[in-house]
Amino acid sequence: MDTQQQNEKEFISLVETYQRLIYKVCYIYATDADNLNDLYQEVVINLWRGFPTFRFERKPSTWIYWVALNTCISFFRKNTHNIEFVPLTTDIEQISNDDSLLLRVKELYQMINKLGKLEKALVLLYLEDKSYQEIADITKLTYSNVATKLSRIKEKLRKMSNN
């Protein structure tokens, strides 16, 4: 097996392991199902491009969060017509056959969608149960800044939910 094939095999195994993590990041930033598929593929491509320089020096999940968040934040298309992507095997409607969960997920999505791109990144990491230190490592914000920002965002979300 040559190096290229070995790389590809390692990469596929990495993406398969962290497929849900990528999905959740894309889900937070996507505007619709097509956009989610498009974003997902974009993240996978960027991970693939960065894979040769990533040599497991960092925690794989931290690296994937890093690239996925950066991809979603910077995602910009001048032409949104005729987008081609490889669709995922399933979507959120199929994942959740429980109506009440689907409803809650939609409500959650609507609330998070009102936040800015950077705020979304912090909320996502918070929902993923990351510690403030881990969030600081991923976002390159200081620990105290993460704490302040998160408390403000929590307040914002609380107000949104009360309205």
Partner 1 sequence: MELDELKSTWSALDERLHKNELLNSRIIKEMIAGKASSAWNRLVKWEQIGFVMIVLCGILFICLELFANIRWADQRGIWLAYILIPAALLWPGGKLLWMYRFDLTSMDVKTISKFMNTYKKCSFWEIVISAVIILPVILFTIKIILTANLSFPQVRLIILVVFFSCLFVYMLWYYKRIFTKSINELRQSAKEIEEFEKE
Cα(157)–Cα(136) distance, rounded to whole angstroms?
21
* DSSP single-letter state for residue 97: -
Query: Nearest to residue 121, comparing CAs of 109, 142, 135, 110?
Result: 135
**Shortest distance, CB of residue 147 to partner 1, whole angstroms?**
11
Check if the beta carbon of residue 26 is closer than 8 Å to that of residue 39. Answer: yes
Query: Nearest to residue 7, comparing CAs of 66, 43, 51, 39?
Result: 51
**Shortest distance, CB of residue 157 to partner 1, whole angstroms?**
7
User: Residue 61, exposed/middle/buried by CB under 10 A (0-12, 13-18, 19+)?
Assistant: middle
Query: Nearest to residue 151, comparing CAs of 129, 122, 124, 112?
Result: 122
90 binding partner 1? (CB under 8 A):
yes
147 binding partner 1? (CB under 8 A):
no
Site string for partner 1, 28-67 (x = CB under 8 A): ------------xxx-xxx-xxx--xx-----------xx
Please give the residues from 97 up to 136 whose contact with partner 1 meets the rule CB under 8 A.
Answer: 101, 104-105, 107-108, 111, 116-119, 121, 127-129
Q: Which is nearer to partner 1, 41 or 61 (CB)?
A: 41
Kindly provide the residue ranges of all beta strands, DSSP E only, lying in 31-156, ordered along the sequence: none
Q: Which residues bind partner 1 (CB under 8 A)?
A: 8, 11-12, 15-16, 19-20, 23-24, 40-42, 44-46, 48-50, 53-54, 66-67, 69-71, 73-78, 84-86, 88-90, 94-96, 101, 104-105, 107-108, 111, 116-119, 121, 127-129, 138-142, 144-145, 148-149, 154, 157-158, 161
